[in-house]
Amino acid sequence: MKSFDPPRRILMGPGPSDVSPRVLAALSRPTVGHLDPAFQGLMEEIKDALSRLMNAPGYACLPLPAPGTAGMEAAIMNLLEPGDVAAVAVNGQFGERMVDMAGRAGAEVLRIEHDWGTPVDAQKVADALKGRKVKTLGFVHAETSTGALSDPGPLCAIAREAGALTIVDCVTSLGGVPVDAAGWGADVIYSGTQKCLSAPPGLSPFAMSPRAREAVAGRKEKARNWLLDMGLIMSYWGGEGGRTYHHTAPINALYGLHEALVVIEEEGLAAAHARHRAMHEALVAGLEAAGLSLLVAPGHRLPQLNAVKVPDGIDEAQVRSRMLAKYSLEIGAGLGPLKGQIWRIGLMGASATPWHVRLCLTALTEALAAQNYPDAGKAALAAAEARLG
Ligand SMILES: *Cc1c(COP(=O)(O)O)cnc(C)c1O
């Protein structure tokens, strides 16, 4: 064997996003023991920073030791018991994943169906929950499979009225658009490190409300997963009554998350959100000047994930492979029913810069022109430039 030397890529797909040199440097700092007093200080800082980032005061906040999907699994496996009714609003791939998981938890799943590319509809959810005894309502804030943004406040209010706990997937939203656990009244929210936080994948920031913790404490039977059992994991992360061994924390990965949180606080959360929006507007101006259009209607678009319709007669996979080969630039393909129909262009975290917007428009229009699509490179860049100011 030889050392692995990865190619240098520019990551503008659905995640991971580009990781800044500061975060990469933090990852390579010396490993300490996970019960070292210095490391415990870092854990407390991460918990506090996550609580600020998600606006989750009074919630149990911690980074779970696995990628975003672990947050989903922890939420579902801790809150649901066999026989419970789990309502899930499905408007893309990740709602679909919640349905699968809730079924595995033994719950009776109440699917609330939406067209892919549309946001979750509060009226549909209210109608579905009416007169039913529902334990949880799950939905995705930022659907990465389609680029649609849903409004969690009204959905959480409907769930509360129906006596249900809410599970809000904030994997792609956190750091890119406002996440407001307390303002929404959400019970569990979870995220991932490799989208708008621009750290490597492998951790899942997680927050659980006091009400949800009570529900977990009152379970009839133990959660069937051990690693992500909230009662057990909080004996390590909670810090109350001394920290006891539960699992060995991914120490260096947590250095990376800590640095990513420092980076975001230095910029300021509001400034980071404004930057994502500005880069999105510049990208969309460029795409439209090139004759391309987006899947999601204006007003429901995610700034950090742009689903672009593939024009008729274009081989979409060939466009992506040319962009990767010539520009070392990665964008994403469509999933499920949108396979072959869209590209997914991420503007997440460190990948949301004017430089990324210009490079992506250059590479995409060049790859399209290579398939006899009218050469729109100049027009696209000029339109984006006018927005970038
Ligand atoms: C990426 C993503 C996930 C899964 O996260 P992993 O880190 O890949 O496990 C879940 N939900 C949404 C909305 C995502 O974008």
**Domain finish residue from 265, 281, 314:** 265
Query: Candidates 17, 64, 76, 94: which one to mutate for ligand 1, based on the most atoms within 8 Å of Cβ?
Result: 94
Residues 212 and 147 in one domain: yes
Domain boundary among 265, 288, 309: 265
Residue 67 alpha carbon, nearest atom of ligand 1:
7
pLDDT(89) > 90: yes
Tell me the per-residue pLDDT of 36-57, one tens digit each, with 9 for 90 and over.
999 999 999 999 999 999 999 9
From ligand 1's centre to the CA of 241, what distance in Å?
Answer: 33
Distance (angstroms) between ligand 1 centre and the Cα of 193 equals 10
Give the residues surrounding ligand 1 with Cβ less than 6 Å away.
Answer: 15, 67-69, 94, 140, 142, 144, 169, 171-172, 192, 201
Q: Average pLDDT, whole number, for the chain?
A: 97
Give nearest CA residue, ligand 1 atom 2.
Answer: 171
Average confidence (pLDDT) over 114-124: 98
What long-range pairs does 109-113 form, CB within 8 A, spacing at least 24? Answer: 109/85, 110/85, 110/86, 110/134, 112/87, 112/88
Q: Write out the residue range of the structural domain in which residue 155 sits.
A: 21-265
What would the mean pLDDT of 228-233 be, rounded to a whole number? 94
**Global pTM value:** 0.98
pLDDT digits (tens, 9 = 90+) for 307-346: 999 999 999 999 999 999 999 999 999 999 999 999 999 9
Are 280 and 225 members of one domain? Answer: no
Q: Which two tokens stand for residue 179?
A: 């996440």
pLDDT value at 389 more than 90: no
Task: Tell me the two tokens of residue 66.
Answer: 């696995």
- Cα 169 to averaged position of ligand 1 atoms, centre (Å): 8
294 and 215 in a single domain? The answer is: no
Q: Same domain for 104 and 204?
A: yes
| Res 238: pLDDT | 87
**Of the listed ranges 57-66, 94-103, 238-247, 262-271, the one predicted with least confidence:** 238-247
Which residue minimizes the CA distance to atom 5 of ligand 1? 68
Best substitution site from 98, 101, 144 to test ligand 1's pocket, by max atoms within 8 Å of Cβ?
A: 144
Pair 214, 105 in one domain: yes
From ligand 1's centre to the CA of 192, what distance in Å? Answer: 7
Same domain, 204 and 313: no
CATH number of the domain where residue 248 is located:
3.40.640.10
